[in-house]
A and B are shown apart, each in its own frame.
Chain A
Amino acid sequence: MRGSTPLGKVLGYGSAKDGAGHWWVQRVTAVALVPLTIWFVLSLASLPLADHAAVTAWMRQSLHAVPLSVLILTLCWHARLGVQVVLEDYVHHHGIKVTSLLLSTFLHALLASTGVFAVLRIAFAV
């Protein structure tokens, strides 16, 4: 057990095999979200948002539906990682912490899949 502390030897937890993975994915999604979110907000600003036909026509173009789907997936991933850190830092009761982390993961997965489904339903509608 080279490089481990005496406490680490006694506890025997070893490596969580994750290392900087969380930190890194948070940054990768952040970098991707800079152009994606700017594009999305500017698109919203240029669209007549109350006009159902106009917004639908905009979303049916693959040039918009594809980046929008990527945006939804990336947003949900980034948000899940961020909410995880907040829950881990501020929820001190172990059971509540684990439960809320689990619920947060499920909710973000549900939002990601529902969001992409909704975009595809509009894009592929006949």
Chain B
Amino acid sequence: MAPRPLSPHLSVYRFAYTMALSILHRITGVALASGLLVLVAWLLALGGGPQAYAAFTGFMGHGLIQVILGAWLLAFLYHLANGIRHLFWDTGRGFAKTAARRSARMVIAFVVVAGALLVYVFFWPAGGVQ
């Protein structure tokens, strides 16, 4: 078969931030899929007894790991909100340029507000649960 041009021709479009949000849904999705490893490791450590669990939480307490956990939290919030946006699109509504941009801003606002709240709850030394 002759090589055919494949859609979408991304390079012919003027950049719009809705495009960045679109690819971010996939990026956060793949990142969250890798987070399944940590979820299962957490459950195994929890079932392994207090000592195994202490070793696990100790490892998770390292600065760089905490940053990754925080990034996962934000990735989850984004994927959740933008996923609901996708489900709404699946009903055939919200595709007009203004509507798509409005829902994009709503997603970003949700991530900022819920992200700030949950980062405070999970990671702030004095305020949170840890």
Contact = CB atoms under 8 A, between A and B. Distances in A.
Interface of A: 27, 30-31, 33-34, 37-38, 41, 44-50, 52-53, 55-56, 59, 72, 75-76, 79, 82-83, 86, 108, 111, 114-115, 118-119, 121-122, 125
B53 A52 contact: yes
Nearest to A119: B43
Contact of A41 (B29, B30, B76, B90): B76
Given A30-B87, A45-B121, A46-B129, A115 B40 contact: yes
6 contacts: A38-B80, A41-B76, A48-B129, A52-B53, A72-B40, A118-B47
A50 B80 contact: no
A45 B33 contact: no
B43 A122 contact: yes
B69 to A, nearest CB: 11
Given A34-B84, A75-B39, A111-B40, 16 more contacts: A27-B90, A30-B87, A33-B83, A34-B80, A34-B83, A41-B76, A47-B129, A48-B129, A52-B50, A72-B39, A72-B40, A79-B36, A83-B33, A115-B43, A118-B47, A119-B43
Interface residues of B, number: 31
B118 A86 contact: no
B47 A86 contact: no
A118 B40 contact: yes
Interface of B: 26, 29-30, 32-33, 36-37, 39-40, 43-44, 46-47, 49-50, 53-54, 57, 73, 76, 80, 83-84, 86-87, 90, 118, 121-122, 129-130
Q: Is the interface of A mostly helix, strand, loop or mixed?
A: helix
Contacts of A38: 80
A69 B91 CA distance: 30
Contacts of A76: 36
B36 A111 contact: yes
B124 to A, nearest CB: 12
Contacts of B36: 75-76, 79, 108, 111, 115
A108 B84 CA distance: 23
Given A41-B76, A50-B130, A118-B46, A82 B33 contact: yes
Nearest to B121: A45
A79 B37 contact: no
